[in-house]
């Protein structure tokens, strides 16, 4: 919604907004754009008398402002519908969907197009470091392509309290990446099959001249496409017969193989098999709009990743603190495992985790947590049984003495600092602000 606000302002509208518990990097981005942010959802905000209320899925019936809007019959629309009708219409939309990697893959694809001179518009659920903002209408180009292409992170979460379809059905993609598909969002989906149905709704919106680029290693996506696909298809992954594969090297670089033939090489600083798979999907999508494979691969050498994706927050006394958005066990495992692959076994990894997503709070993934943290040397969990509904300490117990859980953030910081020693790598993982724990750790280490 913060990125959407930026786009609305770029389109010439006066924009105000309200939310609760807004934290960086989105809060700072809104301030930099001069967009007024009101804390909370008071009904008195209707005195602003806007032409339209654009509503995100964070609010539900019973919200004081929503009830006032409904009672007074004021005009409203969902964020995704507004995007589809006012920003995306008439553009070539490249949509990136999947349980994991949407933000990073969207950022990679946007940078490839930017580096090729396409000057795309974009809306990404994070802040790509190459651009410094999460959204823009379009860039500037001399090749008359600047009004055509738009990259959007396509989320399967529902649209709004009055529209329970997934957000991505509003975007009408011509190029669609299906990165992966696992069970998630336990608060709205009863099982994996329900999410597969939503993904098939997305496939149904891609035109015949469009292209679906999918992870051929995922049985769930195979099931989605078997329901019907009316567009061109290209697969990526390690499965025999995949259109896009790779040859990987120990330093994290890899050769891009298309149709069985080498087509380019990616040499960069990112770690992890998940990022290499993300890159392969982005290169395939860029090829659909005319970017040569070798050129796309070369562009990724200057890709700077996204804020809160293994972002270095600081180094004190040889101890480095990373910030990462990982909150699903698969994402946690790939984040920690990617760092382990990069640094080797001799350097210690201290994993600091706040399980705060709706899926985590429902306990649907708690049994998978110990396995996802197996590459860490020490594990520090944060969350109370009252807030989670289950015991984090009990969930981490299979890890034995290397794991501990805390309900007080100062006690958590003290334990981390006591355990840390020069050379350690500390990964802080949460999909929220985590009480500013990154800075607290760095300040405590400095003391």
Per-residue pLDDT reduced to its tens digit, 92-143: 999 999 988 899 999 999 999 999 999 999 999 888 999 988 899 987 655 5
Q: What is the pLDDT of residue 309?
A: 81
Q: HSE-up of 269 (CA within 13 Å, CB side)? A: 6
Q: Is the peptide bond before 25 cis (omega within 30 degrees of 0)?
A: yes
88 and 120 Cβ atoms separated by less than 8 Å: no
More confident residue, 1 or 147: 1
Residue 30 pLDDT level (bands cut at 50, 70, 90) = confident
Spatial neighbors of 100 by CB under 8 A, at least 6 apart, are 179, 180, 182, 274, 328, 330, 331, 334
pLDDT band at 144 (very low <50, low <70, confident <90, very high): low
Mean pLDDT to the nearest integer, 8-23 = 89
- Order of strands, sheet of 403-406, starting from the edge strand that comes earlier in the sequence: 311-316, 319-324, 425-429, 349-353, 378-382, 403-406
For residue 22, the model assigns a pLDDT of 76
CB 299 within 8 A of CB 283: no
Helices (H), 11-63: 26-32
Q: pLDDT tens digits, residue range 340-377?
A: 988 889 999 999 999 887 777 777 788 889 999 999 99
What is the DSSP annotation of 127-156?
A: -BTTTSSSEES----SSS-TTTEEEEE---
Q: What is the 3-state secondary structure (H, E, C) of 120-132?
A: CEEECCCCECCCC
Tens digit of pLDDT for each residue in 432-444? 888 889 999 999 9
Per DSSP bridges, beta strands 254-258 and 244-248 are antiparallel
Q: Which residue has the tokens 């101890």?
A: 319
Residue 40 CB partners (closer than 8 Å, separation 6+): 18, 20
Residues β-bridged to residue 379: 351, 403
- In the numeric block, the tokens 């709070």 are attached to 361
How far apart CA 111 and CA 282 sit, in angstroms, is 10
Higher pLDDT among residues 81 and 1, named by residue: 81
The DSSP code sequence of 306-353 is: BTTSSEEEEEETTEEEEEE---SHHHHHHHHHHHHHHH-SSS-EEEEE
Task: Give the separation between CA 54 and CA 81, rounded to whole angstroms.
Answer: 9
Whether the pLDDT of residue 80 is over 60: the answer is yes
User: What is the token pair recorded at 419?
Assistant: 């355990």
The owner of tokens 């259109």 is 243
Q: Which tens digit of pLDDT belongs to each residue from 41-52?
A: 999 999 999 999
Range in 165-169, 300-304, 355-359 with the lowest mean pLDDT: 355-359
> What gap in Å lies between CA 109 and CA 290, rounded to an integer?
13
Cα dist. 160→57, 76, 248 in Å? 4, 11, 42
Show the domains of the chain with their CATH numbers. Answer: 2-78 (3.40.50.720), 81-302 (3.40.1190.10), 311-446 (3.90.190.20)
pLDDT of residue 143: 56
State pTM to two decimals: 0.81
Cβ pair 369, 396 in contact under 8 A: yes
Q: Would you state the pLDDT for residue 142? A: 56
Tell me which DSSP letter residue 447 carries.
-
Residue position matching structure tokens 């957000």: 167
pLDDT attached to residue 261: 96
The pLDDT of residue 303 is 95
Alpha helices (H) in 227-325, listed in sequence order = 273-288, 293-299
């Amino acid at each position: 919604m913060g990125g959407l606000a930026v786009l609305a302002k770029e389109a010439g509208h006066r924009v105000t907004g309200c939310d609760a518990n807004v934290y960086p990097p989105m809060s700072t981005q809104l301030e930099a754009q001069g967009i007024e942010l009101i804390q909370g959802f008071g009904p008195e905000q209707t005195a602003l008398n806007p032409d339209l209320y654009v509503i995100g899925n964070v609010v539900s019936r019973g919200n004081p402002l929503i009830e006032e809007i409904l009672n007074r019959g004021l005009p409203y629309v969902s964020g995704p519908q507004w995007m589809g009708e006012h920003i995306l219409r008439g553009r070539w939309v490249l949509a990136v969907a999947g349980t994991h990697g949407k933000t990073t893959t969207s950022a990679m694809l946007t940078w490839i197009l930017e580096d090729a001179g396409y000057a795309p518009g974009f809306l990404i659920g994070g802040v790509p470091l190459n651009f410094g903002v999460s959204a823009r209408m379009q860039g500037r180009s001399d090749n008359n392509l600047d009004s055509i292409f738009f990259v959007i992170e396509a989320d399967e979460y529902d649209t709004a309290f009055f529209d329970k379809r997934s957000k991505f059905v509003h975007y009408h993609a011509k190029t669609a990446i299906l990165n992966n598909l696992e069970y998630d969002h336990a608060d709205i989906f009863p099982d994996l099959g329900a999410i597969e149905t939503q993904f098939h709704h997305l496939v149904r919106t891609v035109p015949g001249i469009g292209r679906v680029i999918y992870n051929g290693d995922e049985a769930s996506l195979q099931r989605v496409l078997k329901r019907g696909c009316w567009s061109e298809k290209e697969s990526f992954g390690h499965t025999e017969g995949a259109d896009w594969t790779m040859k990987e090297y120990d330093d994290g670089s890899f050769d891009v193989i298309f149709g069985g033939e080498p087509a380019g090489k990616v040499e960069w600083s990112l770690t992890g098999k998940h990022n290499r798979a993300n890159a392969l999907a982005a290169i395939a999508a860029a090829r659909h709009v005319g970017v040569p494979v070798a050129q796309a691969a070369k562009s990724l050498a200057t890709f700077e990743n996204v804020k809160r994706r293994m972002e270095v927050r600081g180094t004190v006394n040889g101890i480095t603190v990373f910030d990462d958005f990982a909150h699903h066990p698969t994402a946690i495992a790939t984040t920690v495992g990617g760092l382990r692959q990069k640094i080797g076994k001799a350097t210690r990894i201290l994993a600091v985790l706040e399980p705060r997503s709706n899926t985590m709070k429902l306990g649907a993934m708690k049994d998978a947590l110990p396995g996802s943290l197996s590459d860490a040397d020490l594990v520090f969990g944060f969350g109370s049984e009252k807030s989670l509904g289950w015991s984090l300490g009990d969930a981490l117990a299979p890890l034995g003495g290397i794991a501990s859980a805390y309900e007080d953030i100062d006690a958590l910081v003290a334990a981390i600092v006591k355990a840390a020693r020069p050379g350690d790598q500390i990964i802080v993982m949460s999909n929220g602000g985590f009480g500013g724990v990154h800075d607290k750790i760095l300040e405590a280490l400095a003391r």
